[in-house]
Amino acid sequence: AAAEKGGYGTFMEKEIHDQPKAVEDTLLGRTDASGRLVLDELRIDPEELKNISKIIVLACGTSAYAGMVAKYAIEHWVRVPVEVELSHEFRYRDPIIDDSTLIVSLSQSGETMDTLMAVRYAKEQGARTLAICNTNGSTIPRESDAVLYTHAGPEIAVASTKAFLAQITASYLLGLYMAQLRGKLFQGEIEDILADLHKIPGKIQEVLDGGEQIRKLAREMAQAPSVLFLGRHVGYPVAMEGALKLKEIAYIHAEGFAAGELKHGPIALIDQGQPVFVVVPSPHGRDSLHAKVVSNIQEVRARGAKTITVAEAGDADVVDYSEQVFYVPETQPLLMPLLTTVPLQIFACALAAEKGYDVDQPRNLAKSVTVE
């Protein structure tokens, strides 16, 4: 069993450390010699993809947060509206679907009943269905018109880690492919983004190499009754994923909020010593999001919060307002979730281990939920 865990104590730790390879393998072989994206494996007529007027991403749990990240990138690159919906909500609300709707399901297992039923329903309504899935030959890809596999390798720990990063990677490839087909980005822009994606595995490795700082904090914080996570733009779903990891394996009350929403309610929760993780946007983004989030950090800190920030290397603005800063290497703003998620996974995993919990098999949860 130790060998199966690659020398780590738990599958979750191993899978966190598998992430450079999971992203690399998901990118592998999907470009031709001239740098163009080739997704012939999709088995979907490129003409059909050109005519899609709306994308609906369907997923549950961690996979739904990957879908939320994908929405920011796909809408930005492809200029097609993207909705993200929990599979179990979608089916029961009379959604508007036609044959120009592309359903993109995200599922690690390919067996989640809620997602399978939602895909079936959408198909009956005439939608095109594309599965992004980590499990070869599983039910959801078999029942979909098209499939784009993530190549994260088998994920054993109940709490998803490497599948999440692979799902983001694959949905970015889909977005770039659609942008290429529809002429929405210049070929040079696509190549630049792909080149930056190819640098991600090495950068994840850097985050992993610095993991001890995070594990140390996790051990110190094992008694925290509640932890809040703030993020904005693509950092918002990352914040929710960070909170979900803590709930799932460390049984700590945790919530992820959009940083801009703080003043509309969540700030009332802040009092002395409340831990708040903040996923800070890139200071190189074209807009002022970075400054806005830095002022959110100041606001919660002024009310007594213990602020822990995940920021881009070199971001000096957060230092004065952070009890601790975890730096991740610089990349394009849209690619940051592939890096900023990692410290949050390490944190949850180390904290759960410190509390003596079974990290791989948390209570009440199943790896794949095959009932509605």
Q: Does 160 bind ligand G6P (CB under 6 A)?
A: yes
Contact 178, 355 (CB under 8 A): no
Q: b or e along 71-102 (b: 16 or more beta carbons within 10 Å of the residue's beta carbon)?
A: bbbbeebbebebebbbbbebbeeebebeeebb
Q: Does 159 bind ligand G6P (CB under 6 A)?
A: yes
By CB under 6 A, the residues from 29 to 68 that bind ligand G6P are: 60-63
Q: Does 368 bind ligand G6P (CB under 6 A)?
A: yes
Structure tokens at 252: 């700590």
Which candidate in 5, 184, 355, 367 is catalytic? 367
Residue 108 C-beta: closest distance to ligand G6P, Å: 4
Closest to ligand G6P by CB, 61 vs 281, is: 61
- How far apart are alpha carbons 54 and 98 in whole angstroms? 9
- How far apart are alpha carbons 183 and 173 in whole angstroms? 15
Closest to ligand G6P by CB, 248 vs 312, is: 248
| 101 half-sphere exposure, CB direction, 13 A CA radius | 19
Q: State the amino acid at position 308 in one-letter form.
A: I
Closest to ligand G6P by CB, 105 vs 282, is: 105
**Residue from the set 42, 86, 156, 369 that interacts with ligand G6P by CB under 6 A:** 369
Reported in sequence order, the residue ranges of the chain that DSSP labels E, i.e. its strands, are 54-59, 82-86, 101-107, 128-133, 146-149, 226-231, 253-258, 275-279, 306-312, 324-328
Closest to ligand G6P by CB, 109 vs 144, is: 109
Q: Does 292 qualify as catalytic in the annotation?
A: no
Residue 99 C-beta: closest distance to ligand G6P, Å: 25
Residue 304 C-beta: closest distance to ligand G6P, Å: 33
Closest to ligand G6P by CB, 63 vs 309, is: 63
Structure tokens at 47: 């003409």
Q: In a 10 Å sphere around its CB, with 0-12 CB exposed, 13-18 middle and 19+ buried, how is residue 305 labelled?
A: buried
Contact letters for ligand G6P, residues 76-115 (x by CB under 6 A): -------------------------------xxx--x--x
Q: Residues with catalytic annotation?
A: 367
Binding footprint of ligand G6P on the chain (CB under 6 A): 60-63, 107-109, 112, 115, 158-160, 365, 367-369
